[in-house]
Structure 1
Amino acid sequence: MEVLFYHLTESTLEEALPPLVEKCLERGWRVGIQTVSEERRDALDARLWTFRDDAFVPHGTDREPHAAEQPVLLTTTAANPNGATVRFLVEGAAPEGLNGYERAVFLFDGHDTMQLEAAREHWKAMKAAGHDVTYWQQGPDRRWQKKA
């Protein structure tokens, strides 16, 4: 499994996540986005509807009917009812149940000590499990730069 770590330093999760999800959909991938709380799940749900006037990211949440049919599913659990091949883990969400995914993507706020510590632990665990791990950090221009 390919594992990517995205270190947010110049933008918020709400700004960085939607374009990454769009790229996954352009490639024909189904996406799961795991949050640490229902409040964050619901906030990201609202953000995906409104992040850009000319954008449409078809998605739903695990609290709604027909979760299995959603191309992008926001959830608070490790379940994968929509058969996603890419799993986003945001703000320190625990990487449980990643078997079967082609790609796992950790997004974390570089200004939040708890998220940084969680990302370091997840990095160590993913490397130890033998996954192909890469680390990306935002530059001053908000573009992603591969660091490791």
Structure 2
Amino acid sequence: MTRIDFYSLDENSGGDRFLLACRLVERIRATGARVLIHCPDPGQAHHLDRLLWTFREDSFLPHGRIDRTDPELTPILISGDGSPDKEDQVLINLSSEVPEFFGRFERLCEPIDHDPAARLAGRERFRYYRDRGYLLEHHQIRL
């Protein structure tokens, strides 16, 4: 069964869920795991792509958008539809909806920021997973 972790920015943190996603990617990659970031909005995917390049000066996060990189050579992929199908280690969801394909992943990360709409959508996803019997962990994060 997929491990599901919600990561919420604490009330005194700046930043947003995209910056939080970068931090999660950095920590996950340190373990050697591959990461698929689900970001169906093309504008947000572009923003995330640029942010991953500039996240930290002393950090390199080898990533690319699925339509612009070779998935075999890239351990961090940004995808709008869950492709490629063979990715199954860690999924970071930046969509407001539950990804249909999350069940194939060992782990799902749900970053939540201070935006009221994002928080409401996050609560709905939390209930969805809980009501289906998934064990959920919640982590307060300070950026």
Residue deviations 1:81-136, cap 9 Å, x none? 462410001252432111221110111222x2221121111111111222220112
2:63 pairs with 53, 56, 59, which one?
Answer: 59
TM-score when normalising by structure 2 = 0.86
Which AA in structure 1 matches 2:30?
A: E
1:104 partnered with 2:105: no
Aligned to 1:3: 4
Which AA in structure 2 matches 1:6?
A: Y
Query: Which one has more relative contact order, counting CA pairs under 8 Å at least 6 apart?
Result: 2
Residue deviations 1:11-42, cap 9 Å, x none? 32343222211111111110011114011111
SS of the residue corresponding to residue 135 of structure 1 reads strand
Q: Which runs of 5+ in 1 are unaligned?
A: 144-148
Aligned to 2:26: 22
Instruction: Output the CA distance in 2 between the equivalents of 1:128 and 1:75.
Output: 27
Instruction: Output the CA distance in 2 between the equivalents of 1:70 and 1:130.
Output: 33
Residue deviations 1:37-71, cap 9 Å, x none? 01111111111111111110001101214234320
TM-score when normalising by structure 1 = 0.83
Which AA in structure 2 matches 1:117?
A: L
Aligned length: 139
Q: Which runs of 5+ in 2 are unaligned?
A: none
